[in-house]
Amino acid sequence: MTEFHYISYSQEVIFGVGSLDRLSEAVDRSRWQRLMLCASNSARRSGHVSSVEAALGHRLVSIYDHAQPHVPESQVAEALALAVDHQVDAVIGLGGGSPIGLAKAVSSALEEKRTGQPARAAFPTDQPLVPVIAIPTTYAGSEMTAVHGITQHADGSSRKITFTDPKITPKLVIYDPRLTLDLPPTMTASSGLNALAHCVEAVYSITRHPLSTAAALSGARYIVHALPRCHAAGDDLDARTEMLIGSHLAAISLSNVAMGFHHGLCHALGGTAGVPHGIANAIVLPHAMRFNLDATAPQLAQIAEAVGLAVNGQGAEAAGEAAAQRIYELIDQMKLPQHLRDVGVSRTDLPHLAQVALQSRAVQSNPKPIRDAAQIEAVLEGMW
């Protein structure tokens, strides 16, 4: 890693217990006057939507509060119509990766509508017309990235397509651990595994750099320490705070490196087979690590150390295998599904899923080259 190239993004990040109370002053500073909120039903039920309403008052001109997983394109069209009608000047994504992804998709579509030009930034420093504000309530990490995915339906099948544009990176991110206290145990565990997967794939990424590696290893340390405690006692504010720091570091590590096989496969399982994103991460991660082990052993050995294993005297491959096993045990301890057959994926779907995954950018960027769908199908068989 003596040559590297990456883009970092200009973002204001406010982290801390009670930091949602600082939303109003941050919005004032940026002179946003007409904000739209994208959220899921759970944020309405838990009162988080009301908290944002109370903080923003008349500046909140529109609310779309039924964002569904995986950002269906029909919802992007609905939310965009609302944003246009209300002439919004900023879009808030409150919740998990789905409402934050929806806010990014709306921001991007508004840019194209208002300028008549493709939204993508010519220079990484280009500013959006209608920026995104992210208030995460899970550990998915979309708040720190320039990527969003939309699930498109065509010819009786669906597929998640990802887009990258520095302009849609949220300009303001508010992390308030209080907003994660109501995250149910399974969602806590699976979303936490998603964050851990960001660390693993960042450490062996073909575009890794010193900062992404430092963030990923530190993130993995926080996550393995805090996640089981958050799963066991969701109201443990100290554990929730530590876990959110871990997921923030994981998201930083993910934000400017190429992801690999693991992420490409999770997108295929989510967009095409409807598997919830965090659950897909839990099923795939140990398999993806083992698949990549011969090409990435020194990096996976770093993960082994970060997750607390004593690797002294072991070869890198043995240490990398121990890291995969440690993560498998964590998944088992938190009682997450470990097989595709347990989450409604039919064995006859595996060849199609392998074909879909093969076309993903992430799979094409995997550190161990993947040239044909048969390689992917064999891994899918192993996790079925």
Question: Shortest gap between Cβ of 215 and ligand NAD (angstroms)?
Answer: 14
Closest CA to 270 of 283, 259, 289: 283
Amino acid at 219: G
Amino acid at 354: A
Of 71 and 380, the one with the shorter C-beta distance to ligand NAD is 71
For β-strands 157-164 and 35-39, DSSP reports them as: unpaired
Give the H/E segment covering residue 88: none
29-48 positions binding ligand NAD, by CB under 6 A? 40-42, 46
Q: Does 228 bind ligand NAD (CB under 6 A)?
A: no
**With DSSP H G I counted as helix, E B as strand and the rest as coil, what are the percentages for the chain, rounded to 5?**
60, 10, 30
Question: Shortest gap between Cβ of 183 and ligand NAD (angstroms)?
Answer: 4
Of 93 and 320, the one with the shorter C-beta distance to ligand NAD is 93
Amino acid at 37: L
Of 21 and 182, the one with the shorter C-beta distance to ligand NAD is 182
248-287 positions binding ligand NAD, by CB under 6 A? 270, 277-278
Q: Does 182 bind ligand NAD (CB under 6 A)?
A: yes
Longest CA pairwise span in the chain (Å): 64
Of 119 and 297, the one with the shorter C-beta distance to ligand NAD is 119
CA distance 323 to 376: 22
What ranges in 233-276 are assigned the alpha helix state H?
237-255, 261-271
Of 75 and 213, the one with the shorter C-beta distance to ligand NAD is 75
Burial of 161 by CB count in 10 Å (0-12 exposed, 13-18 middle, 19+ buried)? middle
Q: Does 219 bind ligand NAD (CB under 6 A)?
A: no
For residues 132 to 151, the per-residue mask of contacts with ligand NAD, x marking binding by CB under 6 A and - elsewhere, is -----xx-xxx--x-xxx--
Closest CA to 35 of 52, 15, 11, 12: 52
The residues with which 84 forms a beta bridge, in sequence order, are: none
Of 61 and 94, the one with the shorter C-beta distance to ligand NAD is 94
Phi and psi angles of residue 172, each rounded to the nearest 5 degrees, phi first: -130, 130
Q: Does 69 bind ligand NAD (CB under 6 A)?
A: yes
Of 83 and 259, the one with the shorter C-beta distance to ligand NAD is 259
Question: Shortest gap between Cβ of 193 and ligand NAD (angstroms)?
Answer: 10
CA distance 375 to 384: 15
Question: Shortest gap between Cβ of 10 and ligand NAD (angstroms)?
Answer: 17
- Are the C-beta atoms of 145 and 168 separated by less than 8 Å? no
Q: Helix 350-358 to helix 261-271 angle, to the nearest 10 degrees?
A: 130
Residue nearest to ligand NAD (CB): 97
Of 19, 51, 180, 212, the one binding ligand NAD by CB under 6 A: 180
Show the CA angle centred on residue 3, arms to residues 304 and 204, nearest 5°.
25
For residues 92 to 121, the per-residue mask of contacts with ligand NAD, x marking binding by CB under 6 A and - elsewhere, is ---xxxx--x--------------------
- Are the C-beta atoms of 249 and 338 separated by less than 8 Å? no
Q: Does 75 bind ligand NAD (CB under 6 A)?
A: no
By CB under 6 A, the count of residues binding ligand NAD is 32
Of 183, 243, 353, 376, the one binding ligand NAD by CB under 6 A: 183
Residues of this chain that interact with ligand NAD (CB under 6 A) are 40-42, 46, 69-71, 95-98, 101, 137-138, 140-142, 145, 147-149, 179-180, 182-184, 187, 191, 194, 270, 277-278
